[in-house]
A and B are shown apart, each in its own frame.
Chain A
Amino acid sequence: MKMIRRAMVAIGMGALVAAAVRLRGSGVAPPRSGGWRELSGPGLD
């Protein structure tokens, strides 16, 4: 019984760690400059 309880606690903790790793924040967005321009002209440049 004690062993089963320990196994269940270990599995639960593992699941919590996995969920935390999976859901962790994306951190700081890298810097960006510039923008999008529609391709135009005969060569679509």
Chain B
Amino acid sequence: MLPHPDQVDGANSPDPVSTDMARIGILGVGAVGARLARQLVSTDDDQVVLRDERRNRVEVVANSLGDRATIDRGALDDPLDVDVVVLAGPARTQAHVAEQFVRRGIHVVSTTDDLTDVRALLALDQHARERNVHVVIGAGFAPGLTCVLAAHAAKKFEHVDEIHIAKSGTGGPACARQHHRALGRGAIDWRDGSWDARPGGSGRELCWFPDPIGPQDCYRAELPDALVIVPAFPGVRRVTSRVSATRRDRLTARLPMLWPTDPEGGPGAVRVEVRGRTDGRGSVLVYGAMDRPAVAAGAVAAVACRFIVEGSLKRFGAAGLAESVDSLAFLSELARRGVRAAVFEGETGL
């Protein structure tokens, strides 16, 4: 394994990861965790160790993966003999577990899209740097793919002024519950160098996503995208994130979920609008992607694991993908796995 040029060897650095066959622990085998396990086993020839409190579910997933998958019956934060651990469980459980694995010198990939989780994971940065450990935050559909698209778009500008994220659709039931909760809670926007708290469900904006999702009304919500994007773009003036919702979603956002969710989720999309300047002239670039959110999130997390195993991340510590990866290499690998990005070509006032 060749270390990345930015990486510095340290006496307390974790053991090098063999690129032949890495051992990846997956904590949580819901819609995203199961897709991730499938990617790692079939595309990357890795061994996966599955851990989930739902015994039946973890057995079903492990049986579908064959010999490369094993089940571990430990608690979520119990030690695990793996090279990388992926936190794919429910929101608000990940920060404590991540801290335990960072303490043991094991790289962590988190698929969380919960604001509280992301804040707590970012707080592990110094801790992880000291141990030469990677903590990849938000390796999913949004944040995750959105961060990489923003980084890719930013390459076209000398200076990035604004980044606006929108997402539509949910993965499995846990993702749907998180989406529901987020819509009823306060949002944060980055505006002129400070965080601006705004009510969830406000700020309606009609966003065009890649076909066949098309136009969707999107609203502010308790989304963590700005938290991981702002550090990657010094000098950016505005970063916002929105999520698509129906009128029923908005009306019932502060109530418990009143209807069942699709166990596999439906089709979804992300849209990243980047405004910047080159030679003093402002312009807008809009990237997007359409896929089933759980499938895309599984692929993004799998590629993040692969980048860790191959030593391709830019730095140790806790950070989102916009800060951690080369966007071209990451998007190329995602495209190879069937998750393809698109650019909007037309008038900028969409």
Chain A residues engaging chain B, CB cutoff 8 angstroms: 19, 22-23, 26, 29-39, 43-45
Contact = CB atoms under 8 A, between A and B. Distances in A.
B172 interface: no
A44 to B, nearest CB: 5
B340 A38 contact: yes
Given A37-B342, A44-B341, 20 more contacts: A19-B251, A22-B247, A22-B250, A26-B204, A26-B206, A26-B217, A29-B206, A31-B347, A31-B349, A34-B345, A35-B344, A35-B345, A35-B346, A36-B343, A38-B342, A39-B335, A39-B343, A44-B328, A44-B335, A45-B343
B143 to A, nearest CB: 19
A41 to B, nearest CB: 10
B208 interface: yes
B18 interface: no
Contacts of B344: 34-36
B340 A32 contact: no
Given A22-B251, A44-B152, A32 B208 contact: yes
Contact of A39 (B206, B208, B340, B346): B340
Nearest to A24: B247
A30 B314 CA distance: 41
B210 A30 contact: no
Nearest to B346: A34
B194 to A, nearest CB: 29
B311 interface: no
28 contacts: A19-B251, A22-B247, A23-B247, A26-B204, A26-B206, A26-B217, A30-B206, A30-B349, A30-B350, A32-B208, A32-B346, A32-B350, A33-B347, A34-B346, A34-B347, A35-B211, A35-B345, A35-B346, A36-B210, A36-B211, A36-B343, A36-B344, A37-B345, A39-B335, A43-B328, A44-B331, A44-B332, A44-B341
Interface of B: 152, 204, 206, 208, 210-211, 215, 217, 247, 250-251, 287-288, 328, 331-332, 335, 340-347, 349-350
A4 B332 CA distance: 66
Contacts of B250: 22
A26 B347 CA distance: 22
Nearest to B350: A32
A26 B205 CA distance: 9
A29 B346 contact: no
Contacts of B217: 26
